[in-house]
Chains A and B, each alone.
Chain A
Amino acid sequence: MFPHTRDTLLFFTLISLVGISVICLLFIIFYLVSESSIILSEINLRHYFFDDSWHPSENQFLLLPMIVGSLFITIGAMFLAIPLGIFTAILCQFYVPNWLSQSLQRIVEILSGIPSVVYGFWGVVVIVPLLATIQAPGTSLLAGVIVLTFIIMPGIVLIANNAFQNVEKMHLHNAIALGLSRYSIIRHIVFPSAQRGLLSGIILQSGRAIGETLAVLMVCGNVVQFPGNIFEPIRTLTSNIALEMAYAMDLHRSALFLSGLILMLVVLTLILLAERFELSTKTT
Chain B
Amino acid sequence: MILLPSNHNLADRILRFICWICGSLVLSFFAFLFFDILIQGYEKLSIAYIFSNSLNAGRAGGIAPMLVSTFLLLLLSLVIALPISIGSAIYLAEYTNEKQWFSRFIRLSLSMLASVPSIVMGMFGYAFFVIALNLGFSILSGALTLAAMILPLLIRNIEDTLRNIPDIHRLNASALGLSKFRTIFQILLPMANQGIFLALILGIGRAMAETAALLYTSGYVTRMPDTIFDSGRSLSVHIFDLSMNVPGGEQSAYGSALVLVLFLLSINILTHWIGQKIQLRSIT
**What bracket does the count of chain B residues touching chain A fall in?**
35 or more
- Shortest beta-carbon distance, A11 to chain B, in Å? 7
Task: Report if A118-B260 is in contact (Cβ < 8 Å); known contacts: A4-B181, A260-B119, A272-B111.
Answer: yes
* Cβ-based interface call for A225 (8 A): no
What are 17 A-B residue pairs whose CB atoms fall within 8 Å in the complex?
A4-B179, A4-B180, A9-B181, A14-B87, A15-B91, A17-B91, A20-B84, A91-B23, A110-B268, A115-B210, A115-B260, A118-B261, A165-B1, A207-B115, A218-B243, A242-B212, A264-B116
| A113 within 8 Å of B (CB atoms) | yes
Give the interface of A toward B (CB within 8 A). 2-4, 6-7, 9-11, 13-15, 17-18, 20-22, 24-29, 31-32, 35, 83-85, 87-88, 90-95, 98, 101, 104, 106-107, 109-111, 113-122, 124-126, 150, 153, 157, 165, 169, 172-173, 176, 181-187, 207, 210-211, 213-214, 218, 238, 241-242, 245-246, 256-257, 260-261, 263-264, 267-268, 270-272, 275
Q: Does B192 contact A (CB under 8 A)?
A: no
Which residues from chain A contact B218 at a C-beta distance below 8 Å? none
- Contact across chains for B22 and A84 when beta carbons are under 8 A apart: yes
* Cβ–Cβ < 8 Å partners of A181 in chain B: 5-7, 9, 11-12
Asked whether any CB of chain A lies closer than 8 Å to the CB of B39, the reply is: no
Which residues from A are CB-within-8-Å of B11?
181, 183-184, 187
Whether the pair A25, B115 counts as a contact (CB closer than 8 A) is: no
B residues apposed to A, CB below 8 Å: 1-2, 4-7, 9, 11-12, 15-16, 18-23, 25-27, 29-30, 33, 36-37, 83-85, 87-88, 90-92, 95, 106, 108-121, 123-124, 127-128, 148, 151, 155, 179-182, 184, 205, 208-212, 215-216, 236-237, 239-240, 242-244, 250, 253, 257, 260-261, 264-265, 267-268, 272
Q: Are B120 and A241 interface neighbours, CB within 8 A?
A: yes
Inter-chain contact B120/A117, CB cutoff 8 Å: no
Complex Cα gap A130–B100 (Å): 55
- Name the one of A10, A32, A264, A267 contacting B181, with C-beta atoms under 8 angstroms: A10
Cross-chain contact B22 with A22 (CB below 8 angstroms)? no
Are A10 and B180 CB-contacts (below 8 A) given A153-B26, A271-B114? Answer: yes
Contact B120 A116 (CB under 8 A): no
Q: Which residues does chain A contribute within 8 Å of B236, judged by CB atoms?
A: 115, 117-118
Minimal beta-carbon separation of B25 from chain A (angstroms)? 7
With A184-B11, A238-B117, A260-B123 known, 16 other A-B pairs at CB within 8 A are A15-B91, A17-B91, A21-B85, A21-B106, A21-B110, A29-B112, A91-B20, A95-B19, A113-B208, A113-B267, A114-B260, A115-B260, A117-B237, A182-B5, A256-B123, A272-B108
Asked whether, in the complex, the Cβ of A17 is within 8 Å of the Cβ of B4, the reply is no
The answer for the CA separation of A158 and B249 in the assembled complex, in Å, is 33
Least CB distance from A19 to B in Å reads 9
Q: How long is the Cα–Cα vector from A124 to B33 in the complex, in angstroms? A: 12
In this complex, the member of A85, A91, A184 whose beta carbon has the largest number of chain B beta carbons within 10 angstroms is A91
Question: Do residues B12 and A21 form an inter-chain contact, with CB atoms below 8 A?
Answer: no
Contact A271 B260 (CB under 8 A): no
Q: Given the complex, which residues of B lie within 8 Å of A24, measured CB to CB? A: 113, 148, 151
Say whether B268 contacts A13, CB under 8 Å: no
A21-B84, A181-B6 are known contacts. Are A125 and B117 too (CB-CB below 8 A)? Answer: no
